[in-house]
Structure 1
Amino acid sequence: MNDLRTIILVEDDPDIAILAQLALTEIGGFEVTHYGSGPALLEDSAAIVPDLYLLDYRLPDMTGEELLARLREDPQSAAVPAIFMTASLMPDRIKALKVAGAMDVIAKPFDPLTLADELRARFRNAQS
């Protein structure tokens, strides 16, 4: 079983990105690399292979679902688990994201004090 140590966060809202990064690095002890858009990550995706992608669903240039599809095309990132963050927790959307290859979906707003533990638990459950 792999340990969760490195996370790539794709979030376009600067306030949410800062809060998530602080929660994940300071509370969770993770190494987090942040990108503000899908294209920014795709330009750099060959350089970094994380243990987990944490993707915003609504991004300005492409949806998180479109970004995940592009990541799945690259053999280097194809098997990296992904968790989405969204304020829209409609059952149909959650199902579609899981069909598209998402490990899970986390609600926004998230609790910064429990975000790291929540990701760790979901990652561990998927690994077993």
Structure 2
Amino acid sequence: MDDDSSIREVAHLALELVAGWRVTTAASGTEGWQRALSDRPDAMLLDVMMPGMDGLTALRRLRDDPVTRDIPVILLTAKVGGIEQQKGEDGPPAGVIAKPFDPMTLADEVAALLGWQR
């Protein structure tokens, strides 16, 4: 989930076309959290800096709910250094990917962080 529609579109295309994964997008932390409850995704990419419910708040909600607690979450952020200090506070994410990311290697980065084969 990302509030920037162009980033959502690029990530969506990169993960669906390059990796062949089924991707659902969300424009806010609240929408992403609600979709996680209803869709129970295999993993989530979560932008840290969003208006309204930011990514760290969404991560906290995901970790607090038994339905979404075990969904692997990869944080997307332009401020990787600052996020490293907060990673453990909300239940650790599966990893962090810096923005801007390379759409051609995004699927490989996600797979590597999650321990998935591509």
Alignment TM-score > 0.5, same fold = yes
Task: Give the superposition deviation at 1:98.
Answer: 4.1
Q: Does 1:75 align with 2:66?
A: yes
Q: What is the letter of the counterpart of residue 83 of structure 2? A: R
Matched-pair contact (CA < 8 Å) for 1:98–1:104: no
Distance 1:98 1:114, change over 3 A: farther
Match of 1:89 among 80, 83, 89: 80
Q: 1:1-21: CA deviations, max 9, x gaps?
A: xxxxxxxxx111001110000
Identity level (%): 38
Return the alpha-carbon distance in structure 2 between the equivalents of residues 83 and 13 of structure 1. Answer: 17
Match of 2:34 among 39, 43, 46: 43
User: Normalising to structure 2: TM-score of the pair?
Assistant: 0.90
Return the alpha-carbon distance in structure 2 between the equivalents of residues 83 and 43 of structure 1. Answer: 17
User: Normalising to structure 1: TM-score of the pair?
Assistant: 0.83
Unpaired runs of at least 5, structure 2:
none
Q: Which has the higher strand share?
A: 1
Q: What pairs with 1:106-117 in structure 2 (closer than 5 Å)? A: 106-117=97-108
Q: What is the letter of the counterpart of residue 56 of structure 1? A: D
Match of 1:55 among 28, 32, 46: 46
Query: RMSD between aligned alpha carbons?
Result: 1.5
Unpaired runs of at least 5, structure 1:
1-9
Report the counterpart of residue 7 of structure 1 in structure 2.
none
How many residues are matched? 115
Q: What is the letter of the counterpart of residue 89 of structure 1? A: V
